[in-house]
Amino acid sequence: MADPAPAMRRVHNDFQKKNGSTMSLELKNISKVVGGENHIHDLSLRLEPGSFNVLLGRTLAGKTTLLRLMAGLERPTGGQLLDRDRDITGVSVRKRNVAMVYQQFINYPAMTVYQNIASPLKLAGVPRKEVDRRVRATAEMMRMSHLLDRRPGELSGGQQQRTAMARALVREADLLLLDEPLVNLDYKLREGLREELRDILRDRDCIVVYATTEPQEALVLGGSVAVLHEGGLIQHGPTHAVYRNPRNIEVARIFNDPPMNLAEGRVIDGEVRIGEHRGIPVPSHLSELAPGKYIFGLRPHHLSPANDSGDRLPIDGHCELTEITGSLSFTHVNDGETSWVAQIPGVFSADVGERLKVYADPSQLFAFSSTGGLACAPRNGDTARGAG
Amino acid sequence: MVFKARYIALIVYLLFLLIPIYWLLNMSFQHNSEILRSFSLWPENFTLNNYARIFTERGWAAGYVNSLIYVFMNTTISLLVALPAAYAFSRFRFTGDKHLFFWLLTNRMAPPAVFLLPFFNLYQSVGLFDTHIAVALAHCLFSVPLAVWILEGFMSGVPKEIDETAYIDGYSFPRFFITIFIPLIRGGIGVAVFFCLMFSWVELLLARTLTSVDARPISVVMTRSISATGVDWGLLAAAGVLTLIPGALVIYFVRNHLARGFALGRV
């Protein structure tokens, strides 16, 4: 198949440089069925020009499938993809100006790093001098100028992924898709690259879609977040807004690591009662709740072993497990009904089976209706830094 | 101590393997009279006469050339057919793909003799008899399935994401296949070439039946060196040594990939 695109793409690139990327991507009722299984189900999503979007969901939530549909690597079973008002559902991936970075480190092993990064530009018919300039600039940005003559097989995992990212960044695509790009890297590399990536992606002129399973990554990267669950979109909005006001229990579960503590309780006689614990006066942000049954949610870092202010809700139980990461301790306290996780700064030692009292901050309680929808969220800005 | 025993065992094993080859070499440098007269561990009257005869007498040289021609034809055709086929089997899911893939291999389960008569008859009627292409095509029946299996194994070892990345980068399919994909499966291609060459080079039955004069392969020439005056042992040994050389050469180039090739690329 001959590729008529290079000339067109060049024109497109020039146009793009002058005016900034004007692509906006809209998914309309997209669905994807593979072998009778629903991978994506009736999903609608609009990505604004130049926006940074995190696709958050557990493994098998359909993140990769969705990215592949956006890229044009797969055709949706139903629904439409629109670039502004132009239908691009059936447009071949070669003719869309997209770039993609995979979870695995995908490079062309037979080419050097330089040739790898240069290959999309060469195919687009960019003049040799310009190719050289852009390859070197991108390599500089990814801090791998000294590796240009190596082959991918001679690089470490982190450097291989940098090569793949450089190849995706060099071409100034309209749509940049990253499918859990950091998940195969070790912890330290991941942290470092994540921050670099945030700065690099922030001032790019294209739609970026970044898929991840980690809530923390979404919070660090910012932008807006689309939460995926079992092939459907359950919430889409600015990352911090979604974090503060999860639409339902499922979003709260996906967007918290360690998971949000959830326990059944009631609002009755001006008191909040969680499980069998002593009731406390209804905190001000929950004052509009009608009496009845609710599911209360509390983030682990709002449980502490000390009753600082005196108005906290005591949770009495025995210690099940303590995971100590060094700077943080995750203590699991079972009160007979629910296993609560408390995130405690520093090293907190408690023996398994030991009786323990942790105190919940009532002003930070989420209330979900018994069907799972959000009834009330804490009023103050629950700052994002404590997600993990 | 254990170490030594192991070495000795290996050396003995290697010696046993090499004895027939050494004997062939030994004989090829001897006169017939010496071969028949006495038991000699090395040539007493060293001679290159046997080799000289092979390179000068018309029938012998032509035999080698004929063999080489159809072997290379067969290898080229097999690769050209097997590369796209293996790519399809490794990348696409289509109805009956697994059955078709297995059926390919079953072709190798039939003995070549089964196909002798139909091939002979067919080639006679279409005028292909005693041509190089006739033998090459007949050998394809066996070498194509093998090449497809080997290449499919190697290709499946290349992540599909590389293909997709190339399409995203804007590669057209032929360009991707030649500049990116082929270099990734070089080892596999080498092994496939080796198996096609070897099969075709040593195959005697089809090659002999489908040729008479113009395309007569070396193995047939060798069997016909037995004349009324008896067997010309020295000449036969020299011819044998020469037939070993191409195989040894090819093995040298693919030696690092051979184990994977024997497992049909599935390691």
Average pLDDT over residues A117-142: 92
Within this chain, do residues A267 and A223 fall inside the same structural domain, yes or no? no
Is residue B223 scored above 80 in pLDDT? no
- The domain boundary, picked from A202, A232, A248, lies at A248
Within this chain, do residues A325 and A214 fall inside the same structural domain, yes or no? no
Domain count, chain A: 2
The mean of the pLDDT values for chain A is: 85
- Residues whose CB falls within 8 Å of the CB of residue A93, separated by 6 or more in sequence, listed in order: A71, A72, A73, B164, B167, B168
Minimum Cα–Cα distance from A94: chain B residue: B170
Provide the CATH number for the domain around residue A354: 2.40.50.140
Is residue B195 scored above 70 in pLDDT? yes
All residues of chain B having their beta carbon less than 8 Å from the beta carbon of residue A111 are: 180
β-bridge pairing A292-298 and A261-268: antiparallel
Average pLDDT over residues B133-157: 91
- Does A258 sit behind a cis peptide bond, omega within 30 degrees of 0 on the bond before it? yes
Within this chain, do residues A230 and A260 fall inside the same structural domain, yes or no? no
Within this chain, do residues A259 and A229 fall inside the same structural domain, yes or no? no
- The domain boundary, picked from A205, A221, A248, lies at A248
Within this chain, do residues A40 and A153 fall inside the same structural domain, yes or no? yes
Nearest-neighbour CA in chain A from B166: distance (Å): 8
A98: which strand partners?
A: A175
Model confidence at B71, in pLDDT bands (50, 70, 90)?
Answer: very high
Is residue A96 scored above 80 in pLDDT? yes
B-contacting residues in A 143-162 (Cβ below 8 Å): none
Model confidence at B82, in pLDDT bands (50, 70, 90)?
Answer: very high
Average pLDDT over residues B29-34: 84
Model confidence at A370, in pLDDT bands (50, 70, 90)?
Answer: confident
Q: Are A181 and A103 in contact (CB under 8 A)?
A: yes
Q: How long is chain B?
A: 267
Q: What ipTM, to 2 d.p.?
A: 0.77
Number of H-type helices and E-type strands within chain B: 15, 2
Alpha-carbon distances, residue B164 vs A102, B89, B168, B195 (angstroms): 10, 17, 6, 31
Give me the pLDDT at residue B264, please.
Answer: 66
Give me the pLDDT at residue A18, please.
Answer: 39
pLDDT (tens digit per residue) in A195-253: 888 888 887 888 999 999 999 889 988 899 999 999 999 999 999 999 999 999 999 99
Q: Which residues of A182-211 are buried (b: 16+ CB within 10 A; e: fewer)?
A: bebbeeebbeebbeebbebbeeeebbbbbb
Domains of chain B (ranges, CATH numbers) = 1-47 (no CATH), 61-262 (1.10.3720.10)
pLDDT (tens digit per residue) in A266-290: 888 888 888 877 788 888 888 888 8
Within this chain, do residues A153 and A171 fall inside the same structural domain, yes or no? yes
Within this chain, do residues A162 and A120 fall inside the same structural domain, yes or no? yes
Most confident of the ranges A9-18, A316-325, B83-92, B189-198: B83-92
- The domain boundary, picked from A197, A232, A248, lies at A248
CB contact under 8 A, A108 and B164: no
Give me the pLDDT at residue A21, please.
Answer: 53
Nearest-neighbour CA in chain A from B143: distance (Å): 28
Within this chain, do residues A262 and A229 fall inside the same structural domain, yes or no? no
Please give the model's pTM, rounded to 2 decimal places: 0.79
Within this chain, do residues A276 and A299 fall inside the same structural domain, yes or no? yes
Model confidence at A385, in pLDDT bands (50, 70, 90)?
Answer: very low
Q: Which domain holds residue A88?
A: 5-248
Within this chain, do residues A119 and A12 fall inside the same structural domain, yes or no? yes
Give me the pLDDT at residue A383, please.
Answer: 44
Find which of B94, B163, B168, B180 to mutate to test the A interface (most A CBs within 10 Å of its CB): B168
Nearest-neighbour CA in chain A from B174: distance (Å): 8
Residue in A168, A191, A193, A188 with CA at minimum distance from that of residue A178: A168
Provide the CATH number for the domain around residue A200: 3.40.50.300
Within this chain, do residues A241 and A258 fall inside the same structural domain, yes or no? no
Average pLDDT over residues B3-8: 83
Is residue A2 scored above 50 in pLDDT? no
Interatomic CA distance for residues A316 and A355, integer angstroms? 8
Residue in B190, B184, B183 with CA at minimum distance from that of residue B251: B190
Within this chain, do residues A335 and A230 fall inside the same structural domain, yes or no? no
